[in-house]
Amino acid sequence: MYSNTPEASPRSSLKRKLLNLAYETGLIRAGRGLWAKSLTVVNYHRIDDPYRKDFDSFKPNVSATPQDFDRQLDYLAKWFNVVSLKDIVEWLDGRKDLPPYAALITFDDGYLDNYTSAFPLLRKHNFPALIFLTTGHIATDAPFYWDMAAYCFAHTQSDHLTFPDGRVESWSNSEQRDQVAKHWIELMKTLPQAEKQIYVDNLPVLLGVSIPTGFFQRLMMNWDQVREMQKEGIEFGAHTVHHPILTRISLKQAREEVIGSKSTIEDELGEPVLGFGYPNGQASDLNESIERVVADSGIRAAFTLLSGPASQDEVKQNPYTIRRMFISHKHSLADYAMLLSPVNRYWSG
């Protein structure tokens, strides 16, 4: 899941100036003391440069460049107390207190740059983190459909595509092409899983693209890298096997996705999996039945992509719908500070 960035407008320009002013003056943290007993969970996907010339996977899934990620970790070090998932579970069990301004760093999917780019910076700051693994893609050449689509659009000679709903979208430059790709990927999210897979499988043919064998294996971590990170204090949670939106498949399939991902990670790492990240993570992507499946699997805490932060009382009331903030490479440090502020719960746009 990724955030849509609104187009520039006089209103958004004014809001930008006010946001920068609030950040520079510290006003962005006004009333912060009222939220000392809170849990702020940040969500990353990839740490890379989406504007480098050879980048041909899905740009919106890049959360930050390594330089920006380092600055964001500096911000967390200054204003928050970074905790691990184990700390949170022990707090839920009543065995310890959370520190004031507790924050948890999470990543989704298991991209290789989590190991090559994020991991060294996490070690530099001595921070724990929690990475949710989509186990069917770890150490494989099986692409996420959004990365496969991005590759096909980046390498096609076509200038248009007929969408499943019958509309035709065309492009005349790379910026327009990326926007069409984003539209296509967004449409895929709305389809039932089986129907979506048909269109995904057919996309390379429609765009006349041949994907090199092994290309997508270079996008994902392998289990040796995961184990190396585990030894250095990085935790791993389940993110399903194949990344379906769980409300778009049967409850039986959802159970298989949750338990299958959890079991594979436990077999590989030899430790119980305590956390789960809902694919896409919006309100329509989970429900009480899905939450019960996750809880019954032995998971202790599950995370949405509903914007936060959350009060400690809110987390304790339902640890299977913990809020977290999606971070985009389009976010400035002022944006980042706003996302981590309690004001974010009421800030629109």
Same domain, 165 and 240: no
Residue 197 lies in a domain: yes
pLDDT at position 33 is: 87
Residue closest to 243 by CA, chosen among 226, 267, 260 = 260
Based on the fold, state whether residues 79 and 109 are members of the same structural domain.
yes
Instruction: State the residue for tokens 């805490």.
Output: 301
Facing residues of 160 across strands? Answer: 170
Same structural domain, 268 and 162? no
pLDDT tens-digit map of 238-269: 999 999 999 999 999 999 999 999 999 999 99
281 shares a domain with 154: no
Residue with tokens 């399903």: 240
Secondary structure (3-state) at 161: strand
The verdict on 249 and 324 lying in the same domain is: yes
Tell me which residue range forms the domain holding 175.
Answer: 145-207
Whether 20 is in a domain gets the answer no
| Dist. CA 261–CA 264, nearest whole Å | 5
pLDDT of residue 347: 60
Contact call for residues 38 and 98 (beta carbons, < 8 A): no
Question: What pTM, to 2 d.p., does this model score?
Answer: 0.94
Which amino acid belongs to residue 128?
P
Terminal-residue alpha carbon distance, the chain: 17
Total count of domains within the chain: 2
What CA–CA distance (Å, rounded) separates 294 from 285?
13
In sequence order, the 6+-apart residues with CB closer than 8 A to the CB of 170 are 159, 160, 161, 176, 180
What is the tens place of the pLDDT at every residue in 284-327? 999 999 999 999 999 999 999 999 899 999 999 999 999 999 99
Domain identity same for 86 and 54: yes
Domain boundary among the residues 183, 207, 231 is at 207
**Helix, strand, coil tally for the chain in percent (to 5):** 50, 15, 35
- 243 with 341, same domain? yes
